[in-house]
Structure 1
Amino acid sequence: MLQTPSQTVGPYFAYGLTPEQYLYDFKSLVGNQLVDPLNTPDAITITGRVFDGQGQPIADAMIELWDPANKRFGRFGTGTDPQNRFVFQATKPGSVDGQAPHFWVIVFMRGQLIHSYTRLYFADEADLNAADPLLNTVPTERRATLLAQKAPGGYTFDIFMQGDNETVFFEV
């Protein structure tokens, strides 16, 4: 029987999903701009890094961002940024089905046999966050790991794969 991608240790996705990260001479089919920032007055930038269990930035992770309110999708490899960040251009999602504005975030990286799912909520949406049904299933002391913080021009959201600040991940 042949192995499937989820049975191998990545980054098996390099060639087809994040070619720029591995210096291939062609562009990914999906990029990090969920909107055109020059023609979208309310565009925001979301930046962050993925950290391993020792607190070191992971230089070859791939992050996918899904906006459920606007049905937009983006992908970015942390190795394409000199600071090993992920960077997305988007608009803040609206509320869907009584949920606070959020993005689904999917993390692929070396050493993981299957990707991890989390959510990015916005710290400046306290009232809506307080009423979000999924966020309310997370222990209070861990909710901060799901909150993007306001920064000039947008938001920052770091993902910790392990350790004291480990991000909450969900089974989907």
Structure 2
Amino acid sequence: MSERLGVTPAQTVGPFLHLGLRWPDGPYVVPEGTPGAFWIRGQVFDGAGAPVVDALVESWQADPDGRFDHPDDPRGARPPAVPGFRGFGRSETDAHGRYALLTVKPGPLPDPDGAIEAPHLTLSVFARGLLHRVVTRLYFPHDPANAGDPVLRSVDAERRGTLLAGPAPDGFRFDIRLQGENETVFFAV
């Protein structure tokens, strides 16, 4: 007769992030000095509105032509149009919950159903207390393609603003609220 073992409890994804996932040049999706580069800066907040000081924000995006140098791009992998562009960034939050990523604006993308997705970044947040990463999108303000984006249109109109970056002196600001009032929209991926 065999003995049935108990279920192993789930573990959260932090707080080891600052130790195990630190990447010194992680915030640089493009090298400093890249023409057209800008910063995306923001803060990560918990449900009580307090800054999350030990989170990690990762970005994934297309190049300015809307292409990926990745085998999953259905149009075929292609080297980026911008020298040094890697399409991926990683920024840990500081003592005030702030993160920063240096990037360029991605181009629009075809979606599997034939529609066009507006330029956006996919952002993943890892933090203590989360059993799994949470995934959201950052859209650019006043981009005419936003109106036709199938993902953005699928979000309740009153919550779409949580996916729009705001202008900032050196680029854009995008705060991420994990819970509570004005919680950022997250997607099941």
Amino acid at match of 1:59: V
Aligned residue for 1:64? Answer: 58
Q: Matches of 1:102 and 1:30 in 2, distance apart?
A: 22
Task: Determine if the alignment matches structure 1 residue 8 to structure 2 residue 11.
Answer: yes
Amino acid at match of 1:92: K
Amino acid at match of 1:54: A
- Per the alignment, in what secondary structure is the counterpart of residue 187 of structure 2? coil
List aligned pairs for 1:1-172, cutoff 5 A.
7-9=10-12, 10-18=14-22, 28=23, 31-38=26-33, 40-68=34-62, 69=66, 71=68, 72-79=87-94, 83-97=96-110, 98-125=116-143, 127-172=144-189
Q: Which has the higher contact order (CA 8 A, sep 6+)?
A: 2
Identity %: 45
Amino acid at match of 2:170: G
* TM-score normalised by structure 2 residue count: 0.77
CA distance 1:50–1:70, shift in 2 (3 Å) = farther
Q: Matches of 1:169 and 1:112 in 2, distance apart?
A: 13
The offset of 1:14, in angstroms, is: 3.4
- Note the residue ranges of structure 1 that are not aligned, 5 or more in a row: 19-27
Amino acid at match of 1:87: A
> CA-to-partner distance for each residue in 1:124-164, whole Å, 9 max, x for gaps?
21x21000001000000000000001111200000001111
Q: Is the 8 A contact 1:124 1:150 kept in 2?
A: no
Task: List structure 1 runs of 4+ shifted beyond 4 angstroms.
Answer: none
Q: Is the 8 A contact 1:37 1:90 kept in 2?
A: no
Amino acid at match of 2:51: P
Q: Is the 8 A contact 2:39 2:100 kept in 1?
A: yes
Q: Is the 8 A contact 1:102 1:119 kept in 2?
A: yes
Q: Matches of 1:37 and 1:124 in 2, distance apart?
A: 26
Q: Matches of 1:96 and 1:64 in 2, distance apart?
A: 20
Q: Matches of 1:14 and 1:65 in 2, distance apart?
A: 17
Q: Is the 8 A contact 1:47 1:86 kept in 2?
A: yes
- Per the alignment, in what secondary structure is the counterpart of residue 135 of structure 1? helix
Decide which structure has greater helix share: 1
